[in-house]
């Protein structure tokens, strides 16, 4: 008996059904007071029959991390009445090509009443529609949805139309694409109708309490300055906004409309707590007149601590003006990130970005000096 143990993790050495059966039988007897369980092994659905009763037998569990089984319905059914469970994750021990494909629609009312954090890796967004549509979670604050399939704009739109009803009180939302799963199947020149635009995720603005929002798609998002302004106005307490994926290929740069540095200014003006931004954008520097106007403004700017930019690389003659533009927004310790390529043809681009980074570090005005 190890009644004092509260956290337990089992890794891949249990990838044998008989071993998992022995393990799940022993845990409630030897560790009845567990509050956290992580099962980190291959997501074979054969393991679900012994795992579901185990989870039901541990009423104090507040954190559970499980593999992304193909059908998680038995797990959801076993846990639905828990009043202690706060975090539920379906992602541990999962190979890149394995993900949840089925969830249960009929679980009843008043389920998962204490869950605040849900992380689920799915094959496609439609895999979670049955659960999301029928079982709103009013107390959910953090939601992460990771898909291993490149979703069409219509699927993205459907998901974001469901989320405000499923979890209206979200504070943090991340919807991401696991690009390593189908990286070599991504189109070199995707047609315009495969580019996700703001119209495809605008519905999520109905969640008024968002402070951290990430949307990573297989292709760059088609956004404009006015789109970014609408986001900023809807979410004034925003601290993180990430709308670009480091997995993009250079050849996608000209495929979608891109916001400009004016959008960054708008974000900071409306969201004074903003700390981290990632955008696929046009990096043309602000005009001298705009820079002078910003330098003389009394607006209390947020001090960005991390800025990730993708899009058209800066021309060498523009590096100083770009650094001066960014210095209006960035904290002195701001980390500037960009896509660095390993090919010879991109050495000039990398050099330009590094020049911007060095000049930005030297020119950023400390908050007390403004």
Alpha-helical runs (H) found in the chain: 17-30, 48-56, 73-79, 129-134, 153-166, 225-234, 261-270, 288-296, 319-327, 347-363
> What pLDDT shows up at residue 367?
46
> What pLDDT shows up at residue 309?
82
> What pLDDT shows up at residue 368?
45
> What pLDDT shows up at residue 227?
97
> What pLDDT shows up at residue 105?
65
Give CATH for domain 1-149.
3.80.10
Tell me which residues of the chain have a pLDDT lower than 70.
1-3, 13-15, 93-94, 105, 179-189, 245-256, 291-302, 311-312, 339-346, 364-370
Exposure of 50 in the CB half-sphere (CA atoms within 13 A): 18
* Burial of residue 43, with CB atoms counted within 10 A of its CB: 0-12 exposed, 13-18 middle, 19 or more buried: buried
What are the residue ranges spanned by the domains of the chain? 1-149, 159-170+208-217+226-370
> What pLDDT shows up at residue 357?
84
Q: Torsion angle of alpha carbons 215, 300, 260, 194, nearest 10°? A: 20
The dihedral region occupied by 311, where left means phi > 0, alpha psi between -120 and 50, and beta the remainder, is left
């Amino acid at each position: 008996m190890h009644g004092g143990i509260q956290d337990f993790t089992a890794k891949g050495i249990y990838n044998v059904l008989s071993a998992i059966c022995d393990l799940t039988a022993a845990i409630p007897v030897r560790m009845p007071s567990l509050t956290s369980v992580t099962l980190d092994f291959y997501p074979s659905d054969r393991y679900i029959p012994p795992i579901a009763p185990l989870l039901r037998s541990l009423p104090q569990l507040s954190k559970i991390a499980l593999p992304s089984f193909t059908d998680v319905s038995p797990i959801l059914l076993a846990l639905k009445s828990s009043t202690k469970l706060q975090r539920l994750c379906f992602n541990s021990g999962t190979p890149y090509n394995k993900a949840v494909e089925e969830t249960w629609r009929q679980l009843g009312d008043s389920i998962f009443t204490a869950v605040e954090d849900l992380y689920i890796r799915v094959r496609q967004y439609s895999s979670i529609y049955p659960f999301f549509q029928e079982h709103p979670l009013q107390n959910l604050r953090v939601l992460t949805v990771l898909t291993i399939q490149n979703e069409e704009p219509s699927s993205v739109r459907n998901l974001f139309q469901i989320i405000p009803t499923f979890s209206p009180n979200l504070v943090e939302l991340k919807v991401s694409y696991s690009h390593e799963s189908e990286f070599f199947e991504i189109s070199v020149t995707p047609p315009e109708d495969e580019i996700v635009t703001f119209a495809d995720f605008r519905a999520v603005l109905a969640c008024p309490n968002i402070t951290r929002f990430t949307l990573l798609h297989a292709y760059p998002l088609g956004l404009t300055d006015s789109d970014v302004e609408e986001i900023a106005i809807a979410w004034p307490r925003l601290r993180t906004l990430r709308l670009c994926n480091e997995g993009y290929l250079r050849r996608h740069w000209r495929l979608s409309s891109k916001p400009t540095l004016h959008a960054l200014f708008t974000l900071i003006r409306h969201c004074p707590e903003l700390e981290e931004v990632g955008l696929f954008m046009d990096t043309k520097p602000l005009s001298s007149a705009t820079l002078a106007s910003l330098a003389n403004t009394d607006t209390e700017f947020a001090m960005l601590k991390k800025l990730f930019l993708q899009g058209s690389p800066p021309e060498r003659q523009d590096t100083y003006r770009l650094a001066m533009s960014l210095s209006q927004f960035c904290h002195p310790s701001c980390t500037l990130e960009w896509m660095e390529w390993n090919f010879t043809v991109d050495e000039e681009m990398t050099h330009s970005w590094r020049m911007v980074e060095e000049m930005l570090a030297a020119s950023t005005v400390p908050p007390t000096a403004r």
